[in-house]
Amino acid sequence: MLLAAGIVACVPAMAQTSGGTGGATPAPADPTLLPQVNVTGDAETAFSPVQGFVARRSVTGTKTDTPVLETPQSLSVITRDQMDQQNAQTLNGAVRYTAGVTPETRGAVGTRYDLLKVRGFDADTYWNGLKLLGNGWYGTPQVDPFLMERIEVLRGPVSVLYGQAGAGGVINQQSKLPTLDPFHEVGIEFGNFRHKQLTFDLGGPLDADRHFLYRITGIGRAEDAQVAQTRNERIAIAPSFTWRPDNDTTLTLLGLYQYDPESAAYGSVPPSGSALPNPLGRISRRFYDGDPNFEKFNRTQGSLGYQFERRFNDVWTVRSNGRWFHLGQEYNSVYGSGLQDDNRTLSRGTAASTDNLDTASFDNQLQGRFNTGPVQHTVLAGFDYQHLNTNYRSGFGTAPSIDIFSPTYNLAIEAPERYLVRAHSNQYGIYAQEQARLGGFVLTLGGRQDWADSTTRNLTYDTTSKQSDHAFTGRVGLTYVFDNGIAPYVSYTESFVPQAGTDRTGKAFDPERGRQYEAGIKYQPPGMSALFTAAVFDLTRKNLLTTDAVNPYYQSQAGEARSQGVELEAKLSVTESLDVTASYTWLDTVYTRNADPTAGKHLPAVPSNQAAAWAYYTFHNGPVTGLSIGAGGRYTGETWSTDNSFKVKSFLLADATIRYDIGQAIPQMRGAEAYVNGQNLFDRRYVASCYYGEWCAFGFGRQVFAGLKYRW
């Protein structure tokens, strides 16, 4: 907020002279006056709820409220309606039908983390435009998707806006925010695996003039996991409060408390008996490679944040977002380390870690909207900062082996010896962006300079390492928007990510760099709620760490990986009754350069072909008025193992839902809705991926949920 106040203090002079000399005139008023407030019935903004599947505006691709049609990069928005229809239980579940995304690479295990890929590479997750920072070890944040209004997937490098961000893309989760109109919803849900869930979502004005608004959202969930002997439990609550002293100023405060006392397993199965034949039979999907006598996971997360906006006139606006985030976690795990020659005895190891981390993130922006002659400008300048302070006490050990076909649990397992690490890091960035429109042409230019430093100290072994990096990244994109809603575009964009450590000569590693060329077409038919997108791209990551060719105990920066592909996506409301989403992705991912034997091989856990389609129909007339039915299918093609010695088979999964508005039959129960949702309806047994060495993961079996919601 102090940074925001500083910007506010320096802007009035500009605001007073914005309509003066120099040929600049204010642009037409921005329809997004109050982006922090969801306004029922008002024009859609990049922050507001969306009815149906089709979002027309987004903030993730430009940090300004921009039509998706004018964003020169591939972008998808998963709306709250889509998440509810498909009953998304996790972030991975929410993006299952999205082009360019490979979700659930760890299948039914590893749900404690949001492990997924975009364009073949691990994706970074953001919350309200600020990165969810982890400590690079086991301390990684995860926020429940029920607390979100929308999830936006921006594909390709975006360091020009977000600084340290992976080359594949980012996933930005946007919170449910206070509403101008009263909103109340409670829900209860049951399912197989002893699934039980309670939810509530309440919001509205606190005074007659609607200067003060609130929202409080929460969820409680408990269930057995697919892996035997393990459970998932969660309690999360997210209160928020908005102050609107006038029509040009908003301040929203956001809080979060989330406690995960248990979170399934973080294990695997060996390839033999899962992805590959085993002469002794098939491994059960419920096989647990850990031990409840040792296994432990609980995580507590807390956050306080704010979103501030002040519009001085039709030209100048300042915004500031900030967040403090705390994570405390206990992690004990027993994991498989390799199948022995008898094809049934699995060697095992242990990992244990107590993690604590605190992060602070701020993003401050000055936006101007004006015309110079026939050219319409939206200019953005910003400064952001993120700080991380962490400590973790970790260690690795051994555990007794286990029979994969007849496992025995509750064995005596010795706790590993631990070491203590303390680390902190800082990242500063300044950035500028121009969106210039002349006729149908929209030119997007951006540049950013980053500075990053980190210090890591191992207190047990009395060692210290320091890292300092800086980088410039840019983006240029050109779009032409035809009157008929067709918008072809081309773009070039870059990324950078610092890497800790040194090579065998003691030289610090350079940051990983990424660059992408992309061309595509977007189509939004006038007068129709629909968006069709197609994109082709060439994406390269450089300076990847790989095993040193001279000394295998060190790493070198000889690695390079390339991802090329085609993405197609459609989201549309065919009629008032029918919503449809469909996607197809073709990817060619390969290590183009490496010092180890992976050079020339395909990236593991990334399919060459993916396709998904979902349709949802609501009856508005006739004897079944109020009934809605939905069905979809998800196809994932073959994926390679780490060493490319075998392929994991493709799989096709079916999902379905049926919902009924009870108020249509019983007027006294207006606002009540019952539903049944099924995922992997035919209980297909499949391996999600073999992602590292001897580690593979089974995907989710059939999941069935039945629930009741009441809104008033």
Q: Is 408 exposed, middle or buried (0-12, 13-18, 19+ CB in 10 A)?
A: exposed
What is the CB-side half-sphere exposure of residue 108 using CA atoms within 13 A? 26
Q: Cβ contacts of residue 620 below 8 Å, gap of 6+?
A: 576, 577
- Whether the pLDDT of residue 38 is over 50: the answer is no
pLDDT of residue 5: 41
Angle at alpha carbon of residue 315, lines to 311 and 320, rounded to 5°: 40
- Whether the pLDDT of residue 297 is over 90: the answer is yes
Return the minimum-mean-pLDDT range out of 11-15, 412-416, 454-458.
11-15
How far is it, in rounded angstroms, from Cα 195 to Cα 222? 6
How far is it, in rounded angstroms, from Cα 474 to Cα 513? 12
- Whether the pLDDT of residue 492 is over 50: the answer is yes
Confirm if 324 and 359 have CB atoms less than 8 A apart: yes
For residues 212-223, give the mean pLDDT. 98
Angle at alpha carbon of residue 694, lines to 415 and 702, rounded to 5°: 95
Return the minimum-mean-pLDDT range out of 129-138, 457-466, 547-556, 684-693.
547-556
Q: Residue 235, SS3?
A: strand
For residues 552-574, give the mean pLDDT. 89
- In this prediction the pTM is 0.92
Largest CA distance in the chain: 84
How far is it, in rounded angstroms, from Cα 131 to Cα 388? 11
How far is it, in rounded angstroms, from Cα 319 to Cα 366? 7
pLDDT in tens, 54-74: 999 999 999 999 999 999 999
pLDDT of residue 43: 77
Return the minimum-mean-pLDDT range out of 47-51, 178-182, 512-516, 705-709.
47-51
Q: Cβ contacts of residue 598 below 8 Å, gap of 6+?
A: 546, 591, 642, 643, 644
Across all residues in the chain, what is the average pLDDT? 92
pLDDT of residue 269: 97
Q: Cβ contacts of residue 46 below 8 Å, gap of 6+?
A: 32, 35, 57, 58, 59, 65, 66
Q: Which CATH number fits domain 2-711: 2.60.40.1150, 2.40.170.20, 3.30.365.10, 3.40.50.300?
A: 2.40.170.20
pLDDT of residue 25: 56
How far is it, in rounded angstroms, from Cα 203 to Cα 217? 8
For residues 106-116, give the mean pLDDT. 91
Nearest of 448, 216, 415, 404 to residue 296 by alpha carbon: 415
How far is it, in rounded angstroms, from Cα 239 to Cα 387? 24
- Whether the pLDDT of residue 579 is over 90: the answer is yes
Angle at alpha carbon of residue 134, lines to 470 and 417, rounded to 5°: 115
Q: What are phi and psi of 149, to 5 degrees?
A: -85, -35
**What's the Cα-to-Cα distance from 296 to each of 109, 229, 230, 509, 655, rounded to whole Å?**
14, 12, 10, 35, 32
How far is it, in rounded angstroms, from Cα 498 to Cα 479? 31
- Please state whether beta strands 169-175 and 124-127 pair in parallel, antiparallel, or not at all (unpaired): parallel
Q: Which residue reads 């004990």 in tokens?
A: 332
pLDDT of residue 30: 44
- Whether the pLDDT of residue 548 is over 90: the answer is no
Nearest of 494, 510, 513 to residue 502 by alpha carbon: 510
How far is it, in rounded angstroms, from Cα 260 to Cα 237? 12
pLDDT of residue 12: 35
How far is it, in rounded angstroms, from Cα 615 to Cα 628? 11
51 is written with which tokens?
């009815």
How far is it, in rounded angstroms, from Cα 21 to Cα 27? 15
Q: Residue 142, SS3?
A: coil
What is the CB-side half-sphere exposure of residue 180 using CA atoms within 13 A? 15
Q: How confident is the model at residue 551 (pLDDT cuts 50, 70, 90)?
A: confident
In the chain, the percentage of residues whose pLDDT exceeds 90 is 85
pLDDT in tens, 169-201: 999 999 999 999 999 999 999 999 999 999 999
Cα 253 to chain centroid, rounded = 22
Nearest of 23, 90, 55 to residue 573 by alpha carbon: 55
Tell me the Ramachandran region of residue 410: left when phi exceeds 0, alpha when psi lies from -120 to 50, beta otherwise. Answer: left
For residues 460-471, give the mean pLDDT. 93
What is the H or E stretch that residue 86 is in?
helix 80-86
Confirm if 546 and 91 have CB atoms less than 8 A apart: no
- Whether the pLDDT of residue 554 is over 80: the answer is no
Q: How confident is the model at residue 128 (pLDDT cuts 50, 70, 90)?
A: very high
- Whether the pLDDT of residue 29 is over 60: the answer is no
111 is written with which tokens?
């749900």
pLDDT in tens, 426-461: 999 999 999 999 999 999 999 999 999 999 999 999
Residue 13: how many other CB atoms lie within 10 Å: 9
What is the CB-side half-sphere exposure of residue 424 using CA atoms within 13 A? 6
- Whether the pLDDT of residue 395 is over 50: the answer is yes
Q: What are phi and psi of 21, to 5 degrees?
A: -75, 180
Residue 410: how many other CB atoms lie within 10 Å: 10
Cα 690 to chain centroid, rounded = 22
Confirm if 410 and 291 have CB atoms less than 8 A apart: yes
What is the H or E stretch that residue 195 is in?
strand 195-205
Residue 296 is which amino acid? K
How far is it, in rounded angstroms, from Cα 1 to Cα 364? 9
- Whether the pLDDT of residue 125 is over 50: the answer is yes
**What's the Cα-to-Cα distance from 497 to each of 315, 388, 464, rounded to whole Å?**
35, 15, 21
Return the minimum-mean-pLDDT range out of 332-336, 382-386, 556-560, 674-678.
556-560
The rounded radius of gyration (Å) of the Cα atoms in the chain is 25
Helices (H) and strands (E) in the chain, counts: 5, 37
- Whether the pLDDT of residue 207 is over 50: the answer is yes
Q: Residue 383, SS3?
A: strand
How far is it, in rounded angstroms, from Cα 290 to Cα 409? 8
Confirm if 187 and 705 have CB atoms less than 8 A apart: no
Q: How confident is the model at residue 39 (pLDDT cuts 50, 70, 90)?
A: very low
End-to-end CA distance of the chain: give it in Å, rounded.
Answer: 36
In the chain, the percentage of residues whose pLDDT exceeds 70 is 93
pLDDT of residue 22: 40
Nearest of 607, 610, 598, 587 to residue 645 by alpha carbon: 598
How far is it, in rounded angstroms, from Cα 455 to Cα 465? 6
What is the CB-side half-sphere exposure of residue 556 using CA atoms within 13 A? 14
511 is written with which tokens?
């940051």
DSSP secondary structure letters along 108-129? TS-TTS---EETTEEPEEEETT
pLDDT of residue 405: 98
Q: Cβ contacts of residue 456 below 8 Å, gap of 6+?
A: 421, 422, 423, 464, 465, 466, 500
